[in-house]
Structure 1
Amino acid sequence: MMNKRNLNAMLAVALMMLSSVSQAQLAVIVNPKSSLSTLTPEQAAGLFLGKSSTVPGGGPASLADLPDSSAVREQFYSKAAGKTPAQVKAAWSRLTFSGKATPPKELATAADVKKYVAANVEAIGYIEKSAVDATVKVVLVVE
């Protein structure tokens, strides 16, 4: 039988695990062959909110996004752009309806984002920093 002390200890461990997930560092990534070497949070927000369709230096950007339901997506837009999921969706709805921009390509998982970026020199995406490997290059860390 579980006593109150054991239950409290298990709850404390579970809360620590949840807080570490919610505080994960995110990395904005590009193809290793990309000429882009760094992005500011403002530049990343501009790209992922449709305010800009080119990277600094003028090249085209092919954006990769995670699904609406992704906690990493929510964290990215919150930290990089100061926007809630509803605000992001509303901004893209306006831009799409007016024909001013096309939303980022939505991929199912972070592994899919990394694979897409690794295969496309114009691609920019974001994943948890812990998932970065030699197939992509980090241009911004969002904390």
Structure 2
Amino acid sequence: MQKLISTLRLLLLAGVLLSGAAAASDFVVIVSARNPVTALRAEQVAAIFLSQTGRFPGGEEATALDLPFGSPLRDDFYYKVAARTPALMKAYWTKMVFTGRAQPPRELPNSAAVRKMVADNPAMIAYIDRSALDASVKAIQVTP
């Protein structure tokens, strides 16, 4: 009986995860149109967003911006780029802040606000919904 309950819980969890993935939007990683970066590896993007580095590969300053905690786009981004679930991200930032090693990226309310801030500052990097992309920023290629 216990095995049946465990199996049902796993099936329910899988259904919730799959429905959440289907609801997630298509994101693009962006920098200012004035930033020379055109491509980064996923591990480089993750390092910037996890405050493991504050620089682009060429040495220029890199400052990450985030969407709000709980946003499906944010969850999708961290899962695909850093292989971390929302729970793992929360635990990561709790530890980093508690130990004084780093602060999480600044959060902005939506893709339009993020796009505007990135457009105005070549040092910033972020992710937005693909539908919010315009000429003020450029989508960079993120390779595995």
The TM-score range, normalised by the shorter chain, is 0.7 to 0.9
Percentage identity across aligned positions? 41
- What 5-or-longer segments of structure 2 have no aligned partner? 1-18
State which drifts further: 127-136 or 70-79: 127-136
The corresponding residue for 1:112 is: 113
- Please list, as runs of the form range in 1=range in 2, the aligned pairs for 1:24-103 lying within 5 A after superposition: 24-103=25-104
- Between the aligned partners of 1:60 and 1:134, the Cα distance in structure 2 is 22
- Between the aligned partners of 2:80 and 2:55, the Cα distance in structure 1 is 21
- Between the aligned partners of 1:129 and 1:39, the Cα distance in structure 2 is 18
- Between the aligned partners of 2:87 and 2:21, the Cα distance in structure 1 is 24
- Between the aligned partners of 2:115 and 2:20, the Cα distance in structure 1 is 24
Give the root-mean-square deviation of aligned CA atoms: 2.1
Displacement of 1:96 after TM fit?
2.0
- Between the aligned partners of 2:21 and 2:94, the Cα distance in structure 1 is 32
1:81 alignment partner AA? A
Runs of 4+ in 1 over 6 A off after TM superposition: none
The corresponding residue for 1:132 is: 133
Displacement of 1:20 after TM fit?
9.2
| 8 A Cα contact 1:50 1:95, kept in partner | no
**TM-score, normalised on structure 2?**
0.78
- What 5-or-longer segments of structure 1 have no aligned partner? 1-17
- Give the total of aligned pairs: 125
- Between the aligned partners of 1:124 and 1:131, the Cα distance in structure 2 is 15
SS of residue paired to 1:39:
strand
- Between the aligned partners of 2:34 and 2:53, the Cα distance in structure 1 is 21
**TM-score, normalised on structure 1?**
0.78
